[in-house]
């Protein structure tokens, strides 16, 4: 928060782009608590987070192993009506697969489908790849069939 204060003292108006940059920088260095503090401050000042804000927070939480908070942020993003970038969804399901958290991975994928988001061949392909890497071929078969249905 000291950084935010210093920027304000220099007379720079903090807009969404600057907040996003600060959040991303904290995230890169694993300072997730600080990134979340800046995120809260941003919202308190009436600046609405955009897809860049959400992607940064979710990506860095996944990278540093805090998938639980990444999923919580993902859910909040959806509640605010922000459509997820397919890359961030892939980051989440990849991390869940690495952790062997198959049920949570499938639950999040099903949740996306239930919310009416478009199916994505890329996401199906990533699911097939993750299941294949961990020799869960029966699980992968379901998504291979889904890919075939989409003509891929």
pLDDT at 4 over 80: no
pTM of the entire predicted model: 0.75
Contact 92, 71 (CB under 8 A): yes
In a domain, 56, yes or no: yes
* More confident position, 137 or 58: 58
Q: What's the chain's length in residues?
A: 152
In a domain, 33, yes or no: yes
Report pLDDT for 38. 94
In a domain, 24, yes or no: yes
Residue 11 is part of which domain span?
2-85
Question: What's the CA dihedral at 76, 28, 95, 75 to 10 degrees?
Answer: 0
Question: For residue 139, what is the enclosing H or E element?
Answer: helix 137-149
Q: How many domains does the chain have?
A: 1
User: Tokens in use for 79?
Assistant: 């509640």
- Pick the closest to residue 138 from 112, 113, 91, 102 (CA basis): 102
Q: How many Å apart are CA 85 and CA 103, to the nearest integer?
A: 22
Report pLDDT for 26. 95
> What CATH number is given to the structural domain containing 8?
1.25.40.10
In a domain, 36, yes or no: yes
- Pick the closest to residue 126 from 151, 148, 109 (CA basis): 109
In a domain, 22, yes or no: yes
In a domain, 106, yes or no: no
pLDDT tens profile 12-65: 778 999 999 999 999 999 999 999 999 999 999 999 999 999 999 999 999 999
For the chain, the straight-line distance linking the first and the last C-alpha, in angstroms and rounded, comes to 48
Contact 88, 54 (CB under 8 A): yes
- Pick the closest to residue 35 from 10, 64, 9 (CA basis): 64
Report pLDDT for 55. 94
In a domain, 31, yes or no: yes
pLDDT tens profile 76-126: 998 898 877 778 888 888 888 788 787 887 777 666 665 555 555 666 666
Report pLDDT for 129. 72
In a domain, 8, yes or no: yes
Report pLDDT for 31. 96
**How many other CB atoms are there within 10 angstroms of residue 123's CB atom?**
20
């Amino acid at each position: 928060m000291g950084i935010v204060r210093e920027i304000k003292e220099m007379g720079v108006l903090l807009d969404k782009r600057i907040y996003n940059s600060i959040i991303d920088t904290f995230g890169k260095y694993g300072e997730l608590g600080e990134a979340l503090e800046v995120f809260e401050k941003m919202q308190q000042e009436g600046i609405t987070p955009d897809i860049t804000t959400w992607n940064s927070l979710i990506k860095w939480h996944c990278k540093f192993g805090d998938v639980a908070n990444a999923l919580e942020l993902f859910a909040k993003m959806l509640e605010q009506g922000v459509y997820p970038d397919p890359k961030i969804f892939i980051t989440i399901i990849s991390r869940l697969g690495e952790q062997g958290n198959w049920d949570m991975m499938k639950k999040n994928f099903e949740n996306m489908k239930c919310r009416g988001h478009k199916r994505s061949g890329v996401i199906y392909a990533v699911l097939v790849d993750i299941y294949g890497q961990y020799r869960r071929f029966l699980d992968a078969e379901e998504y291979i069939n889904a890919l075939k249905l989409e003509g891929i």
